[in-house]
Structure 1
């Protein structure tokens, strides 16, 4: 499969809206935001999101977005050394293709110039994602019990970190 990874910009509002809404609709257990709330966002709201986050898309030869993730650097003076990997999603037809790994590696390389550690939260039952993050050098440092309540069920979230200033697993 051929794709390239690039930062999404204001010209990508419709593509970002489409893939983000799909992610929220199909996997409510994996994201804090709801599909219903996201659907109400205006294009100006989406542009604000694209300005606040560094959003990467895996762009297919036809120009569509097959997967995405986002980076957010903490802004406080005492926490600027930390960043977050957010909104990780790959469309079902591209899972197992290496797209998720490529998106994460791209974000990690981008973050190296800005922070010394990357955090993420992952649904505790999402074993494929947890395995991927572990292969990429992330370690679980805690579990937030009952982080979300989705479809009548409480869901735990693992908190993971990758220290960029030392080798993975050290």
Structure 2
């Protein structure tokens, strides 16, 4: 326990402070100026390097042939065109409402689905397909393309109800 009578001298005792070391004098004005110029040059060099890398990436993107990007990506990345969803560019005749652009977008999007997501999408799409659906033709196209993707992946289809089958036909 602290006692003022016993510890007073310890509390108010003077402490000797060591002298502060002298700072070395800064260099001449020319030395300071060249140091600032070097720091500025380093910053600009880094910004230039970043701009050069971004320009090279942009130029590389411009070199992709617009008529066959799937084949180019396939060759550049070692992926198959089927993995990218670009293996069948011709639209099937069975589609009712999709045009070529919608078919391409759907085909590209569906390849990103995992197997579980794909089967779940099939189940939801079958449930949505009924006589009151204003977008029935588009839903049937989505269902057709989903089933085709399931067959392409070799997945087993979930068992659908008899009502789903009769509504589709």
Which structure would you say has the larger Rg? 2
TM-score range, shorter chain: under 0.3
Given the two structures, how large is their TM-score scaled by the length of structure 1? 0.26
| Higher normalized strand content (fraction of residues) | 1
